[in-house]
C-alpha cells in the first residue's frame, strides 16, 4: 500500500524549482532549439513554418527542408558564441539577427526570451520550511486520528517528538551553507510527460530549544517520477496562457535509511509489522513562475557565478509512511476512481489574476478532476482515499511583482484555500451481482478537505467501514448531490520504471532506469488492487511521439502483472507508451484530449540515445580527436541549453584540458554515477558514444601530459 499505510507523518512547505528552461520547447514548433532525436542543440536554432506559409524571406534568409519534409528557417547568425546573449534577449531586440525580426513577427514570437523564464537554472530542487503538519495514527474503536501541533489525543511519544521537525533534501540540514541533493530532469524534454526526481539524501530533522540537533531519520530515496498530473489544480493559475503553472503532480519513492533501526523498531512495535524502509509521497502544487523576466535586471546571487537565476516557487505537501517488502518502490498499489466528465464550478468569488500590464486572466468555470487513489484496509476496517490532487484550490492575497517581471507576469498569491464544492461527496458501492448501489460514507469541505485539513492529513480521507466488509466483488463511485462525479476504473496499469533510457540498436531488453544494473521495464497490472495473473487482460497499447504528434495504436495486447516490456530502439528519440483498458480513454489523433489523458494515465517514457554514427571515425582512431570535435559533439549542447555549466567552468580548451578537472569529469559521467544527483549531465542525455569520446579525450590529454 505504501503511502496509505499508518502512521503517516504529514508535512507541508515551500519548494524552489531551479529548472533550466531553454530545452522546454515552450515555443515549439515556431522556434525549435533542441534536437531531441540526437540530444543536441540546433545550432543554428530553427523556426519551423506551417504548411501553406506566406512568409517571404528577405535577402540572405533561407527556407530549408528537414529530413521529415518540414520547412524551416535556420537562424544562421546565432552560433555557440552569441547563443547565451540571444537566448536572454527578447526576440526582435537582438542586433545580430536583425534580418530575422520580420520572421519573429510572422511566427508571433516577438518579445519572447528564447531561453524562457530560467535559462541559467541548475535543475536543483530545494525545500524551505517543510514542517510536520499532522501525524495520522490508528486508534482502536475510533479509527484514524490525525494529531496536530495543537491537538494530540493519541500520539506515541516517538511520533509526538516529530512535531517541529522539517523534511529536507540538503546534504547537511544543520549547516546553513549546505546545498540540496535533489535535482529534476525530464526524460522527454519536449513532451515533459515524465519528470524524474533524483534525491541524494532525504531526512527529517529538528533543532530543539536547547540547541540539540536531532536527525529523526535520513536515507536515500530511489529515483521517482511525476504521476497524476493535474493542469488545473490551482484555479486562478490555470489560464491557458500560464500553462503549466496551475498544475500539480505527485511523486513517490521508497527511502532506504542510512541508520534507521531505532525508528523502524518503534514503527514495528506500534503496528505489529516490521518495515524495511520508509516511503515518501509529495505533491508539487501552487507553482509560480516569473515567465517573462528581464534578464538584464535579474540579480546574480551573492557568491554565485553561474548566471542570473529565476527559480519557480511551489508548495510541497505529502506524507512519510512505513515501507514494507512487496510494495512498489515508486507508486502505491491501490484502486482508482476517475472523473470522466468536467465538473462545473462557481468561481465568482475567486480572485482573477491580473498581469502587470492590466490584463485580467480567466478562471475556469469547469474542470476535469484528477484521479483518486484509494484502498480498503480490512484489518483496520477503513477505506482510505487520497484526494490531495483531486481537490481544486485557489490563491488569494497577491504579493508584489519584482522589478524584473515582464508585462504579462502575474503576482504570486500568498495564501491558498481549497475550492468548496458545497455538497458533500458520497461514496457508493455497486455490487457486481446487481441491485441498488450501497451508500458507504461521505466527506465534505468542513471536516475533510478545507486546506488546513488537507495539509494536516496529507490529503487522505479515512472512512470507517463495517468489520468483515468485502468490496472485491463490486465497484465504487463518488456522488455529489445525486450526480456521479467519479467512477472506479477496475484496472490500475503502471510501472516502477516510468522513465527508461536505451542506447540505439542495443541488444537485450534491459534499460537504465535508476542506475546500474540495467533492468527490464516491468508492467504492473492490478484489478481492484489485486495483481492480474497471466494470460492477462486485453488493452490498447499506444505509442506516442509527443514531438511529431504521431500515435500508433495496437489493440488487444494482453498484459498482466510482472510482464516485462520490449521497446523499439532502432530509432533515436523519445517515445511515450500508454496501456489503455477502455476505448474512451485513448489519446485521440491531434491530441484534443491530451490534458485529461495525461491526468488519468500512467505513462511509460523511453528515451533512445543516438548511436552517433559521425563519431565512429574518431573513436576508431581513423581521424584525430580535437577539441573542436569534443565541443561540437558534446559540450555545445551544454553551453547553449544548460549554460549554468558554462558559467561554472567555461567550455574552453584550456579548462577542459586540465587533468584534475578531467579526472572529476570521468567520475561524474560513469554509469556507476548515473542515479546520483550530480551525474554529468544532470539531464541524462549523454549517449554511450559521447561518453566514450569524453573518455578518449581525457586519456589523450593525460597521455600528452605524461610525455611533457
- Helix axis angle for 659-669 and 688-706, nearest 10°, is 150
What phi and psi values does residue 562 have, to the nearest 5 degrees? 85, 10
DSSP symbol at 569: -
Cα angle, residue 196 at apex, residues 195 and 199 outer, rounded to 5°:
145
Q: Are residues 265 and 225 in the same domain?
A: yes
- Domain closes at, from 609, 630, 647: 609
The answer to whether 564 and 521 are in contact (CB under 8 A) is yes
What's the whole-number mean pLDDT along residues 363-378?
A: 97
Q: Judge whether 3 lies within some domain.
A: no
pTM for the whole structure: 0.96
Q: Is the pLDDT score of 443 beyond 90?
A: yes
Q: Are residues 362 and 410 in the same domain?
A: yes
List beta partners, residue 354.
360
Q: Are residues 544 and 686 in the same domain?
A: no
Nearest to 563 by CA among 508, 607, 509: 509
- Domain closes at, from 442, 471, 489: 489
Q: What is the pLDDT of residue 305?
A: 60
> How many residues belong to the chain?
708
What's the whole-number mean pLDDT along residues 318-341?
A: 96
3-state SS string for 342-360: CEECCCCCCCCCECCCCCE
Q: Are residues 188 and 254 in the same domain?
A: yes
Domain of residue 140: give its range: 8-21+120-489
Banded model confidence at residue 301, pLDDT cuts 50, 70, 90: low
pLDDT per residue over 586-610, tens digit each? 999 999 999 999 999 999 999 999 9
Give me 11's grid cell.
Answer: 508535512
State whether the Cα torsion 217-284-175-647 is positive or negative. Answer: positive
Q: Is the pLDDT score of 503 beyond 90?
A: yes
**Least reliable range by pLDDT among 259-268, 561-570, 666-675:** 259-268
Q: Are residues 597 and 639 in the same domain?
A: no
What's the whole-number mean pLDDT along residues 194-218?
A: 93
Q: Judge whether 359 lies within some domain.
A: yes
Q: What is the pLDDT of residue 582?
A: 81
Q: Is the pLDDT score of 211 beyond 90?
A: no
Q: Judge whether 112 lies within some domain.
A: no
Give me 309's grid cell.
Answer: 537565476
- Domain closes at, from 106, 133, 149: 106
In percent, the amount of the chain with pLDDT more than 90 equals 91
Q: Judge whether 56 lies within some domain.
A: yes
Give me 449's grid cell.
Answer: 478537505
Grid-cell match 456522488, residue found: 479
What's the whole-number mean pLDDT along residues 95-102?
A: 97
Q: Are residues 393 and 276 in the same domain?
A: yes
* Three-state DSSP state, 617: helix
Banded model confidence at residue 189, pLDDT cuts 50, 70, 90: confident
- Separation of alpha carbons 525 and 527, rounded Å: 7
pLDDT per residue over 127-151, tens digit each? 999 999 999 999 999 999 999 999 9
* Three-state DSSP state, 229: strand
CA atoms within 13 Å, Cβ hemisphere of 130: 30
Q: Judge whether 272 lies within some domain.
A: yes
Summary mean pLDDT of the chain: 95
Q: Which residues, including other chains, have CB under 8 Å from residue 333's CB and lie 6 or more apart?
A: 1, 2, 327, 375, 492, 524, 526, 529
What's the whole-number mean pLDDT along residues 389-405?
A: 97
What's the whole-number mean pLDDT along residues 456-468?
A: 97
Q: Are residues 503 and 470 in the same domain?
A: no
- Separation of alpha carbons 110 and 462, rounded Å: 52
Q: What is the pLDDT of residue 302?
A: 55
Give me 444's grid cell.
Answer: 465534505
Nearest to 258 by CA among 334, 313, 305, 205: 205
Q: Are residues 134 and 263 in the same domain?
A: yes
* Three-state DSSP state, 242: helix
Nearest to 683 by CA among 181, 33, 191, 39: 39
What's the whole-number mean pLDDT along residues 694-698?
A: 98
What's the whole-number mean pLDDT along residues 302-306?
A: 59
Q: What is the pLDDT of residue 704?
A: 81
* Three-state DSSP state, 635: helix
Give me 190's grid cell.
Answer: 519536449
pLDDT per residue over 45-87, tens digit each? 999 999 999 999 999 999 999 988 999 999 999 999 999 999 9
Q: Are residues 318 and 443 in the same domain?
A: yes
For 548-654, strand residue ranges (E) read 550-559, 563-565, 573-580, 604-609
Q: What is the DSSP string of 20-80?
A: --TTS-TTTTTSEEEETTTTEEEEEEEEEPPTT----PPTT---EE-TTS-EEEE-TT--T
Grid-cell match 484555500, residue found: 417
Q: Are residues 621 and 690 in the same domain?
A: yes
Nearest to 249 by CA among 220, 291, 286: 286
Q: Is 151 exposed, middle or buried (0-12, 13-18, 19+ CB in 10 A)?
A: exposed
Q: Judge whether 646 lies within some domain.
A: yes
Q: What is the pLDDT of residue 153?
A: 87
167 alpha carbon, distance to own chain's centre: 19
The answer to whether 693 and 633 are in contact (CB under 8 A) is yes
Q: Judge whether 220 lies within some domain.
A: yes
Q: Is the pLDDT score of 675 beyond 90?
A: yes
Q: Are residues 370 and 426 in the same domain?
A: yes
Label residue 286 left, alpha or beta by phi (over 0 means left) and psi (-120 to 50 means alpha): left
What's the whole-number mean pLDDT along residues 260-264?
A: 88
User: How many DSSP H helices and E strands does the chain contain?
Assistant: 12, 38
- Separation of alpha carbons 496 and 623, rounded Å: 43
What's the whole-number mean pLDDT along residues 180-191?
A: 91
Query: Is the previous residue joined to 84 through a cis bond, with omega within 30 degrees of 0?
Result: no
Q: Are residues 159 and 233 in the same domain?
A: yes
Scored b (16 or more CB within 10 A) or e, 213-237 reads: eeebbbbbbbbbbbbbbbbbbbbbb
* Number of domains, the chain: 4
Q: Judge whether 657 lies within some domain.
A: yes
282 alpha carbon, distance to own chain's centre: 11
Amino acid at each position: 500500500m505504501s503511502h496509505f499505510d499508518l502512521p503517516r507523518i504529514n508535512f507541508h512547505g515551500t519548494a524552489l524549482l531551479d529548472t533550466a528552461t531553454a530545452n522546454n520547447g515552450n515555443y515549439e514548433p515556431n522556434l525549435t532549439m533542441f534536437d531531441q532525436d540526437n540530444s543536441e542543440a540546433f545550432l543554428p536554432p530553427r523556426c519551423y513554418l506551417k504548411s501553406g506559409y506566406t512568409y517571404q524571406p528577405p535577402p540572405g534568409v533561407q527556407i530549408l527542408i528537414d529530413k521529415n519534409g518540414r520547412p524551416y528557417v535556420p537562424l544562421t547568425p546565432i552560433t555557440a558564441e552569441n547563443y547565451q546573449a540571444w537566448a536572454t534577449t527578447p526576440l526582435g531586440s537582438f542586433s545580430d539577427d536583425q534580418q530575422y525580426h520580420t520572421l519573429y513577427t510572422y511566427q508571433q514570437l516577438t518579445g519572447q526570451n528564447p531561453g524562457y523564464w530560467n535559462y541559467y537554472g541548475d535543475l536543483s530542487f530545494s525545500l524551505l520550511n517543510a514542517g510536520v503538519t499532522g501525524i495520522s495514527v490508528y486508534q482502536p474503536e475510533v479509527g484514524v486520528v490525525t494529531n496536530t501541533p495543537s491537538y494530540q489525543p493519541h500520539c506515541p511519544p516517538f511520533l509526538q517528538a516529530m512535531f517541529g521537525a522539517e523534511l529536507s533534501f540538503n546534504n547537511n540540514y544543520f549547516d546553513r551553507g549546505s546545498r540540496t541533493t535533489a535535482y529534476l530532469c525530464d526524460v522527454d524534454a519536449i513532451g515533459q510527460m515524465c519528470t524524474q526526481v533524483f534525491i541524494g539524501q532525504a531526512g527529517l530533522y529538528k533543532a530543539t530549544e536547547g540547541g540539540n540537533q536531532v536527525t529523526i531519520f535520513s536515507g536515500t530515496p530511489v529515483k521517482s517520477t511525476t504521476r497524476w498530473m493535474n493542469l488545473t489544480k490551482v484555479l486562478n493559475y490555470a489560464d491557458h496562457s500560464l500553462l503549466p503553472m496551475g498544475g500539480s503532480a505527485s511523486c513517490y519513492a521508497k527511502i532506504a535509511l542510512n541508520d534507521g533501526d531505532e525508528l523502524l523498531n518503534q514503527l514495528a512495535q506500534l503496528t505489529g509489522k516490521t518495515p524495511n524502509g520508509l516511503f515518501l509521497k509529495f505533491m508539487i502544487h501552487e507553482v509560480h513562475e516569473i515567465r517573462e523576466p528581464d534578464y538584464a535586471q535579474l540579480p546574480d546571487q551573492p557568491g554565485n557565478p553561474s548566471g542570473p537565476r529565476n527559480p519557480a516557487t511551489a508548495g510541497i505537501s505529502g506524507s512519510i509512511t512505513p515501507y514494507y517488502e512487496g510494495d512498489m518502490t515508486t507508486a502505491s498499489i491501490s484502486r482508482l476512481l476517475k472523473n470522466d466528465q468536467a465538473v462545473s464550478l462557481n468561481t465568482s468569488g475567486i480572485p482573477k489574476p491580473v498581469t502587470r500590464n492590466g490584463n485580467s486572466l480567466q478562471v475556469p468555470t469547469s474542470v476535469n478532476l484528477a484521479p483518486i487513489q484509494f484502498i480498503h484496509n480490512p484489518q483496520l476496517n477503513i477505506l482510505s482515499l487520497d484526494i490531495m490532487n483531486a481537490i481544486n484550490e485557489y490563491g488569494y492575497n497577491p504579493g508584489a511583482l519584482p522589478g524584473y517581471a515582464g508585462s504579462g507576469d502575474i503576482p504570486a498569491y500568498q495564501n491558498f484555500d481549497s475550492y468548496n464544492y458545497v455538497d458533500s461527496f458520497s461514496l457508493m458501492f455497486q455490487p457486481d451481482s446487481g441491485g441498488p448501489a450501497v451508500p458507504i460514507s461521505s466527506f465534505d469541505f468542513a471536516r475533510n478537505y478545507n486546506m488546513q485539513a488537507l495539509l494536516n492529513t496529507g490529503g487522505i480521507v479515512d472512512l470507517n467501514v463495517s468489520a468483515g466488509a468485502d468490496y472485491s466483488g463490486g465497484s465504487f463511485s463518488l456522488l455529489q448531490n445525486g450526480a456521479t462525479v467519479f467512477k472506479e476504473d477496475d484496472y490500475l496499469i503502471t510501472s516502477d520504471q516510468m522513465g527508461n533510457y536505451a542506447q540505439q540498436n542495443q541488444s537485450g531488453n534491459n534499460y537504465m532506469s535508476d542506475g546500474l544494473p540495467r533492468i527490464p521495464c516491468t508492467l504492473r497490472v492490478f484489478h481492484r488492487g489485486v495483481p492480474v495473473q497471466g494470460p492477462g487482460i486485453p488493452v490498447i497499447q499506444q505509442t506516442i511521439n509527443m514531438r511529431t504528434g504521431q500515435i500508433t495504436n495496437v489493440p488487444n495486447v494482453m498484459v498482466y502483472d510482472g510482464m516485462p516490456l520490449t521497446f523499439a530502439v532502432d530509432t533515436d528519440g523519445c517515445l511515450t507508451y500508454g496501456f489503455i483498458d477502455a476505448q474512451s480513454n485513448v489519446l485521440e489523433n491531434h491530441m484534443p484530449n491530451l490534458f485529461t489523458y495525461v491526468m488519468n494515465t500512467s505513462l511509460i517514457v523511453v528515451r533512445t540515445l543516438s548511436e552517433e554514427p559521425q563519431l565512429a571515425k574518431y573513436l576508431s582512431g581513423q581521424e584525430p580527436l580535437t577539441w573542436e570535435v569534443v565541443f561540437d559533439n558534446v559540450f555545445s549542447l551544454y553551453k547553449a541549453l544548460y549554460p549554468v555549466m558554462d558559467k561554472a567552468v567555461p567550455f574552453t580548451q584550456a579548462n577542459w584540458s586540465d587533468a584534475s578537472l578531467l579526472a572529476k569529469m570521468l567520475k561524474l559521467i560513469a554509469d556507476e554515477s548515473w542515479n546520483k544527483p550530480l551525474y554529468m549531465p544532470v539531464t541524462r542525455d549523454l549517449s554511450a558514444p559521447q561518453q566514450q569520446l569524453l573518455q578518449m579525450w581525457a586519456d589523450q590529454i593525460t597521455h600528452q601530459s605524461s610525455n611533457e
